[in-house]
Amino acid sequence: MANCTKLSAIVYMVMSRQLFGKTIKEVRTDLERTEDQDQTAYTLTEYIEKQGGGSWVEKLQEDLGPWLMIQLCDVADLFEILRKYDRPHRPS
């Protein structure tokens, strides 16, 4: 049964790629966007291509580090609030 599901997923991906694939114009637009260093990258792959092979990790940490820390703190606060409401309260 699992092999049938995997095979169905592969067939679906191939068929959707053939039916709804990118046109030559879309591919050219994506390539021009990737090569233009002044535009902001939309995907991680595009970001790596713009920054080059070696220094993209450090640049990504500098750009996303502060924003990511705020998001992680917000998620930690949310989990703490949910944990507080999950425990049963015992009156004294």
Q: Is residue 4 part of a domain?
A: yes
pLDDT confidence of residue 57: 74
Written in H, E and C, the secondary structure of the chain is CHHHHHHHHHHHHHHHHHHHCCCHHHHHHHHHHHHCCCCCCCCHHHHHHHHCCCCHHHHHHHHHHHHHHHHHHHHHHHHHHHHHHHCCCCCC
More confident residue, 37 or 69: 69
pLDDT confidence of residue 89: 66
pLDDT confidence of residue 18: 75
- Asked whether the beta carbons of 29 and 39 are under 8 A apart, the reply is no
Residues 28 and 57 in one domain: no
Q: Is residue 73 part of a domain?
A: yes
pLDDT confidence of residue 4: 77
- pLDDT bucket at 12, cuts 50 / 70 / 90: confident
Q: Show the domain range for 89.
A: 53-92
Tell me if the pTM is above 0.85. no
Structural domain count, the chain: 2
Q: Is residue 21 part of a domain?
A: yes
Residues 5 and 30 in one domain: yes
Residues 5 and 32 in one domain: yes
Q: Is residue 47 part of a domain?
A: no
